[in-house]
Structures are given as C-alpha cells and as structure tokens.
C-alpha cells in the first residue's frame, strides 16, 4: 500500500472538495437562479460551487507538479491512530450521553482517555473522571443553571 503523504493528501482533499463542489452546483441548479425582483436562492451557491471545483482542480494539478522530495512527510502515523481512537471514543460518549446523561458518559470517556489512551494508572483515570464530571455538574448545572445532557431517567 502506498503511503499517504502530503502530495496524496492534497489529491485526496482536492477530490473530496470537487465532490462537495459538484454537490453544491447540482443542488443550486435546482433552486431558482434569478427571481422577479432579484437573485434567487440558487444564485450565490452556484458561483461558489463552481469556484470550489475550479480551485480543487488547481490544487490537484499543483500537487501533481510538486517535486518528489517535497512530500517526504507521511500523514498517517501512530499518533493519527491515537487521535482517531480518541475521536471515536468521543462519538461513542456523545451517543451514550443520550441514554446515560452527561455525568456517567463523561466520566467513562475521561477514564478511557486518561487511562487507555494516555496510559495513566486506572486509579488516576477514575479519580479524574469522577472529579471532573462532578466539577462540571456543580459549576454549570447547580451554580449557573446551564442545562446539561440528561438521560430519559432524569440524571
């Protein structure tokens, strides 16, 4: 498998943006471009959609023309997987929040982040988790009266 480096990164992001630009153009062309008294809802998106596609093509071309030694850095490293693991954990935590409420879901996420990802002792993770969600709860929900995500059972 070829390593993903900056040259490829530009190609990939350029391709994604071409897709997005095309989507914008297609959507915009459904809506009226010009109405009785002035530009319609399709006017502005059509133009920036076109511009997006053109610039993305430019990005890909200039990436292809770059000399080889410019792109020695690889994009995907061990750290990337770690960042993505945390991100995935965050998504799970946010989904869980609808069922477990802020306090429990956030405590679990913190334990995962501190002990599993950052490799601290489990005790540290558990203490940090409980302490931080308690602190958030007291400061925001109790003192300031800001709403926090709650479970259907009211905690």
Partner 1 sequence: MKRRDLIVGAVALAASAAVAPAFAQEWKPTQPLELVVHGGPGSGNDVMARQLTTIIEQEKLSPVRVQVSNRVGGGSTTAAAYMASKKGDPNTIAVFTIVWVTDPLTQEAATNGLNTLTPITRLIEEPALIVVKADAPYKTLKDFVDAAKSKSGQLKQSGGSITSRDNILRQLIMKQTGANWVFVPFPGGGERIAAILGGHTDIMITDPSEAGEQVRAGKLKVLAQVGKERLDTFKDIPTLKEAGFDFQDIPQTRGIVGPPGMPPEAVKYYETFFEKLRQSAGWKKFLADNQLLGVNEKSEASKKFLITYEDMLRVVLKDAGAKVVR
Partner 2 sequence: MDIANGMLHGFYVALQPMNLWWCFFGCFLGTVVGILPGLGPAATISLLLPLTFKMDAAGGIIMMAGIYYGAKYGGSTTSILLNIPGESSSVATCIDGYQMAKKGRAGAALGIAAIASFIAGTVGVVLLTLMAPPIAAFALSFSSPEYFALMVLGLALVVLLAGTSLVKGLLALLVGLWLTAIGVDIFSAQARFIFGQPTLLGGIDFTIVAIGVFAMGEVLSSLDAGEETKMLPVPKGLRNLLPTWQDMKDCRFAFLNGSIVGFIIGVLPGAGGTIASFISYGLEKAVSKHPEKFGTGVIEGVAAPEGANNADTGGALIPLLTLGIPGGSSTAILLSALIIWGVHPGPLMMTESPDVFWGLVASMYIGNIMLLVLNLPMVPVFAQILRMPVYVLFPFIFGISIVGVYGTTGRMFDLGLLAGFGFLGYMMGKLKFPTAPLILGFVLGDSMERALRQSMMMYGGDFTAMFHRPISAVMLGLAGIVLVMPLISYFNRLRVKAITEGA
Give the footprint of partner 2 on this chain (CB under 8 A): 6, 9-10, 12-13, 17, 20-21, 24, 27, 31-32, 35, 37-41, 43-45, 48-49, 51-52, 55-56, 58-59, 62, 75, 77, 79-80, 82-83, 86-87, 90-91, 94, 97-98, 102, 106, 109-110, 113-114, 117-118, 120, 124-125, 128-129, 132-133, 136, 139-140, 144-149
Total residues in contact with partner 1, by rule CB under 8 A:
6
* Site mask for partner 1 (CB under 8 A), range 7-26, x = bound: --------------------
Query: How far is residue 40's CA from residue 36's CA, in Å, rounded to a whole number?
Result: 9
- Virtual torsion, Cα 133, 139, 142, 143, nearest 10 deg: 180
Residue 145 touches partner 1, criterion: CB under 8 A: no
SS3 12: helix
Instruction: Tell me phi and psi for residue 137, to 5 degrees.
Output: -60, -50
Per partner kind, with CB cut-offs from 5 to 8 A, the member of partner 1, partner 2, none near residue 149 is partner 2
> For partner 1, which stretch binds (CB under 8 A), given 22-30, 54-62, 117-125, 147-155?
147-155
Token pair in block for residue 29: 């062309």
**Do 149 and 97 touch, CB atoms closer than 8 A?**
yes
**Residues between 71 and 110 that touch partner 1 (CB under 8 A):** none
Q: Which is nearer to partner 2, 68 or 109 (CB)?
A: 109
Find how far residue 96's CA is from the centre of its chain: 18
Query: How far is residue 7's CA from residue 68's CA, in Å, rounded to a whole number?
Result: 9
Closest CA to 93 of 80, 110, 76: 110
Sites of contact with partner 1 (CB under 8 A): 35-37, 153-155
């Amino acid at each position: 498998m070829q390593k993903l480096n900056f040259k490829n990164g530009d190609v990939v992001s350029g391709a994604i943006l071409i897709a997005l630009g095309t989507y914008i153009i297609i959507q915009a062309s459904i809506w009226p471009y010009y109405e009785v008294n002035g530009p319609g809802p399709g006017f502005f998106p059509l133009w920036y959609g076109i511009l997006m596609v053109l610039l993305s093509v430019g990005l890909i071309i200039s990436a292809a023309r770059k000399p080889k030694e410019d792109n020695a850095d690889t994009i995907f490293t061990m750290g990337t997987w770690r960042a993505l693991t945390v991100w995935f954990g965050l998504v799970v935590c946010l989904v869980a929040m609808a069922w477990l409420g802020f306090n429990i879901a956030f405590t679990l996420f913190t334990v995962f982040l501190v002990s599993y990802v950052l490799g601290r002792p489990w005790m540290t993770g558990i203490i940090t988790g409980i302490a931080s969600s308690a602190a958030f709860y007291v400061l925001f929900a109790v003192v300031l009266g800001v709403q926090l995500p709650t479970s259907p059972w009211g905690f």
